[in-house]
Structure 1
């Protein structure tokens, strides 16, 4: 990585941007690992933790266009340093949070906003500092750094939560932040030579549009996709005021706001006024299809890992650290594959990268199939390992080439703008993965527990009453520990049925997990079809980036 690009970046500078991505990935991946401890400490629910993670990704994705606007106005490096300070404050407040509300604000809002420039700047610096093979090596190295952060968050965070407290699980992120702060002087000073007004209207429209959609999806398990499972009220006012769940209402409002956002962007562009994004890349079919392909991969892998962190403790009776050890083969395998490709870049010369991406998607589908087959009543950690390893190999192959193939539809000058679109869309994929697959797991598990208990008691209920009981059980599953849930159900059921709660609950969890795997497999099929539109090789335009007048 010694070929100069348009800026100079030394070893310390590369360590700084790598550790930044490591820190972000650690902080996000630690949350699923410590969910049980937080739920127990705050007497809260898994649903709230899921919503916090969804909101974090939402804030990061929605604030990204505004961040790029701020970078063009004030310079990327100053915005990065501001984000670093705000991130430290957010993580510290998260670890010290006295209640769930404070944790949500500090982690989802403060760190979500701060993470936006911390995610985009490392990739922008790598684009400007390296050319050709050196750029490919730098990009793969940044993927490895992010993957190692995710691995450390699940493993180290789970261990700290099990041995000490979930609050200590955030300490490593603060340590890494201090190291990045010490190394920040080695970063190139990227200062803009022109100032462009900030499009605050576009920023608000994009944020609220995406926000309403994702919040609606995350609430679907609790309120229902169409038929209302329970009423949604604000200050005693029922919303909506008719027999419809709040979920489609929120999604519809979000789509309308995104429509206004697109209209506003076109209006600003036609008048040559400040706009959040120049939508040139979004008019290019190849870039959009590649973007959606990468987003679906993020949706699948993030959602399944999130579900495994909920399923494994119930099915295998493991603590957070043991759960992380069970799931970790996926991350380790993915990192090994990416590192091997980093050392053997000629692979992309011998085999068209498009086919490597296709192979990765097929292996992910095979891994999902192996996970599905392994879901039996007497499941063990070893049973899950083959599927996780095959999925890890597939993700490693996929991630090594997908971004370069996506950018093949863009010109070299459009690549910085592309990064401002590509990264937040992946965060959007993370939100959708947790919301859709996580909702499927809880919903189907709750339904099958209720139906199983009713069958054993030889009873039937009217659909309305049955749905109400399912909704109540969903809330209990996300709030109570397994022991507390079993004790609560035992007190409300006939003595002859109580001993059956454990096997019925395990079978219901298996059904919920299988259903989420089938949804993930469907998404994998769509991902493969979209990947068929990718070019065989990355565009040669990105082997050498031209000088750009916007930076000095």
Structure 2
């Protein structure tokens, strides 16, 4: 295995102003990527008319974006070790920004796919892993790290939940192209803010990059995401693609094990999966993003198709979820001081489950739009309570030498949860948007939430310092509940 250089001790921001300067660009980056993933839903008709294409053509562009991001997230996390976290973050921003500009001026669907689907997908895979790695390295104390993760998760949640509203307002007031200009301007702001950002660890260009492993992981994830997206069209095709994807990922893990036995560094070390708290944290992350995107898709489709609301009206109703998520995410530091992370994750799932129950009960009994508000508020509060500790459990389980690997894996698991949420809801709703279909979709999401709650219950109440099982890591790293 390639010999690694001794890592320098991470630097922790010592003043509130310095901490804000570190967190601000990272939170904005998570916001814009989450915004980009949700605001396209309200632009489909406008884009298809303007570019003289079909709704299916625009949906293909959105699908390719998901595939590119899924394929490159794990290799992107590994590249942070080789190129450095700051450099990888900046490269991702530049690639994403170029993609946003191309999308804004695209004369046809081909240029839109190049800009939005390919370049923005590559940029996202490069810039998102460094966000979580930098926070883990720069904030070494639990409560300060919880505060930083809380701000980032709040930004991501607001971007996902408010994306349809912001995108709808921009599209209605100006055009869909202005939404991509907005993304490009935010990227420019992030670049300016992070010019003074320092990488706490030096890059190691001599680290081995596992090319065959990258191909296998990308192929497996692309097959799985494609299978998920095919769920509402052909269940047999979905099953075939999912099985093929699982088999390719098993091949990838066997390849990684072979590389380790040969003394070479794989793309993703198999020892990552021998950490119990981290595995449980990954399960809760997947369930949380499945709940977020599944609820968003189900409620938005019901409001627009059955109730006849437009994108702006739908976005206004979702403000309840946005406010709940924002309030509880920003309270992450205070919550971390008083409660164990296991308790916070379990409480978050309980709140989300209560919100789903309220959504089903009130919407069935009232035709008014505000019947959605209490349930969405509870779901937003629950997600905000648990998103931060779930990320902290996973990231804090490994030392700095492993942050590139675990960050890429963590983001891939969360993205799969988002894709599963949309696919599960879409598969149920495609049979016919009715009150029963809406209630059925929400009930399935409740079952997923219950599974996440059970997984969280198995998290340790406290975690002793973890000794890494990777041969290159010769130090202890604090567990998530220190």
Partner of 1:147: 157
Instruction: Report the CA distance shift for 1:311/1:97 in structure 2 as closer, same or farther (over 3 A).
Output: farther
- The answer to whether the 8 A contact 1:216-1:251 is kept is yes
Is 1:284–2:294 an aligned residue pair?
Answer: no
Residue aligning to 2:472: none
Shift of 1:382: 0.5
Alpha-carbon spacing, 1:439–1:110, altered in 2? closer, same or farther (3 Å): farther
2:144 equivalent to 1:134: yes
In structure 2, C-alpha distance between the alignment counterparts of 1:62 and 1:294, rounded to whole Å: 19
Alignment correspondent of 1:33: 42
Match of 2:130 in 1: 121
| 1:422 Cα offset (Å) | 1.3
Cα–Cα, structure 1 residues 168 and 407, in superposed 2: closer, same or farther, change >3 Å? closer
The separation in 2 between residues aligned to 1:138 and 1:281, in whole angstroms, is 24
**CA–CA separation in structure 2 for the residues paired with 1:45 and 1:368:** 34
| Pair 1:439 & 2:364 matched | no
CA distance, structure 2, for counterparts of residue 40 and residue 180 of structure 1: 32
Greater alpha carbon shift after TM alignment, 51-60 vs 508-517: 51-60
TM-score by length of 2: 0.86
Change (3 A) 1:436 1:511: same
Contact 2:428-2:440 within 8 A present in 1 as well? yes
Q: 1:75 to 1:85 in 2, by over 3 A?
A: same
Does residue 531 (structure 1) correspond to residue 463 (structure 2)? The answer is: no
Q: Distance in 2 between the 1:280 and 1:334 partners?
A: 33
- Summarize the Cα distance change of 1:44–1:123 in structure 2 as closer, same or farther, 3 Å threshold: same
Unaligned runs of 5+ in 2: 1-7, 468-474, 478-482
Distance 2:247 2:315 in 1: 40
1:466 alignment partner in structure 2: none
- Preserved contact between residue 26 and residue 131 of structure 2 (Cα < 8 Å): yes
- 1:188-213 deviations in whole A, cap 9, x for unaligned? 14532451232121111111111112
Shift of 1:322: 1.4
After superposition, give the CA deviation of every residue in 1:446-485 in whole Å (9 maximum; x if it has no partner): xxxxxxxxxxxxxxxxxxxxxxxxxxxxxxxxxxxxxxxx
Q: Aligned in 2, Cα 1:375/1:51: closer, same or farther, shift over 3 Å?
A: farther
Which position in structure 2 is the counterpart of 1:479? none
C-alpha separation in 1, matches of 2:182 and 2:463: 37
Point out where structure 1 has 5 or more consecutive residues left out of the alignment: 227-245, 446-507
Q: Which residue does the alignment assign to 1:500? A: none
Q: 1:250 maps to which residue?
A: 241
Distance 1:29 1:85, change over 3 A: same
Q: Which structure's CA Rg is the greater one? A: 1
Rounded to whole Å, the distance in 2 between the matches of 1:111 and 1:166 is 16
CA contact (8 A) 2:80 2:404 kept: no
- Residue 100 of structure 1: how far off its partner (Å): 3.8
Q: In 2, Cα distance between the equivalents of 1:185 and 1:409?
A: 29
Contact 2:298–2:438 (8 Å) recurs in 1: yes
Post-superposition shift, 1:412? 6.6
Equivalent residues of 1:367, 1:391 under 8 A apart: yes
Superposed displacement of residue 279, structure 1: 1.9
Q: Does the Cα contact within 8 Å between 1:205 and 1:260 map onto a contact in 2? A: yes
* 1:50 Cα offset (Å): 5.3
State TM-score, norm by structure 1: 0.76
Instruction: Identify the match of residue 30 of structure 2 among 5, 10, 21.
Output: 21
CA distance in 1, matches of 2:444, 2:59: 18
Alignment of 1:301-340 (within 5 A): 301-340=292-331
Select which of 170, 195, 212 maps to 1:201.
212
